[in-house]
Amino acid sequence: MTNRMLTVLLAGVSFASLQANADDFTATAPISDVVVYRDGGATITRKGTITLTAGRHSLTIDRLTKALDEDQLFISFDNPAIKLYGSKTGTSYVVNPASDRQAEIQKKLEALQARDNALKSDEQAKDMQLGFLRSLNQKSDTQALPLDDWQKALAFIGEQSAKLLADIETIRQDRRNLAEERAALMRELKDTGPQRQDFTTATFEVETPT
């Protein structure tokens, strides 16, 4: 069996590295030409050279754009003796590793969550105090107090209730600010964290002559 050199010309496909496994080959390659159309879209030509033994092979081109128009996918060979029996497309993906910044952001998020939990507990405690004061204000036995003492009691309840309401509103504003900080960090975490990048693959069934 003799080796054949195949020069592959592809529209919307890439070719750079080559790995061979039995009769299956996977390749990627640099762009050799780009044509951009005024009404939108483009034709991308990638050219590469691959060595195959004589016989029938499965040639997979990986890392193609997800925007690839499968109906416009085209492959040609410099050697006219190469036969193309069929083609199909599929999907692949890679996951970019997380950065050190992601770990830093995660620590900040945990600290903000701990702070929010503390504020939430404080808010609940003050809500209970406010509810207790309101219940005192509604008790009928306060009518048994002398008028002056009754007025002082109501004034005290009113002052404490107003203070608690102000404290609760301050806590709620602090929690809203924390929520905004968390949202901003979550957006940054998404940008810096591991991300999946999807691609299209094209597989061609070819036969090289003996």
Q: Give me the residue spans of the domains in the chain.
A: 3-96+196-208, 100-193
Q: Is 90 left (phi over 0), alpha (psi -120 to 50) or beta?
A: beta
CATH architecture of 100-193: Orthogonal Bundle (1.10)
Q: With bands split at pLDDT 50, 70 and 90, how would you rate the model's confidence at 22?
A: very low
**pLDDT of amino acid 7:** 35
Whole-angstrom Cα distance, residue 110 to residue 132? Answer: 33
Question: Region 127-133: what's the mean pLDDT?
Answer: 84
The model's confidence at residue 147, banded by pLDDT at 50, 70 and 90, is low
Q: Is the model's pLDDT at 8 over the cut of 70?
A: no
The pTM (predicted TM-score) of the whole model is 0.48
pLDDT digits (tens, 9 = 90+) for 104-116: 888 899 999 999 9
> What's the mean pLDDT in 15-23?
41
Mean pLDDT value across residues 176-193: 89
What confidence score (pLDDT) does residue 18 get? 37
